Amino acid sequence: MRFKLFALRDELREGIIDGAMPENKWFEYLDTSITKMIDLLPTITVWEALALVLRYRNDPEVQQAQVTLFTAFGEEENQKLAGIYGKFVGHIIELLFRRHVGIRYGMTGIARTVVNARALKKKTAEIITVAPETSTLTHYA
C-alpha cells in the first residue's frame, strides 16, 4: 500500500509539473495528507479508523472543512485533484480491509445491521482524509 500512495503522490506532483492540475491549496492539502498517510501507515488500523469516525462524525469543524473540500473539488479547475482524492479514499479503503481480512467479514455483518457496509467504508475513509490526526485539511480549509 505504501508504494501505491507513493505512486499517487507522484501522479499528483506530475500533474503540477505538466500543468494538468492547479497548484493551489487543494494540491497542497492532497500532497501533505498523502505524505502524512504514508508516514502513519504502520499505525492505521480498522479500530483507529472507527475511533476517528466516532470522534469526528459530528464535529462541526471537521464537517465544515469536509464541505469546503467537496465544494472545491466540485469546481471545474479542481476536477483532476478530485480524481486524485477519489483514488486516495479508495487506497485507504483497500488498506483497511486488506490489513484486516479476518475482521472484514465480522465488521461487514455488524455494519449491515446499522448502516450499509459500503457507506460505512466510504465514510471511514473520508473521515481519515479529513481528521486532524491523519490529514492536513484543517490547515487548508
H-helix segments, the chain: 2-17, 25-40, 46-56, 60-73, 79-99, 101-114, 117-128, 137-140
Range name among 22-36, 68-82, 96-110 with the lowest pLDDT average: 96-110
Residue whose cell numbers read 465544515: 64
Whether the predicted pLDDT of 6 surpasses 90 = yes
Confidence of residue 114 (pLDDT cuts 50, 70, 90): very low
Exposed (0-12), middle (13-18) or buried (19+): which is 33, by Cβ within 10 Å? buried
pTM: 0.77
Residue range 51-80: mean pLDDT, rounded = 90
Residue range 12-36: mean pLDDT, rounded = 96
Q: Which domain holds residue 49?
A: 2-140
Write out pLDDT tens, residues 87-96.
999 898 888 8
Q: How many domains does the chain have?
A: 1
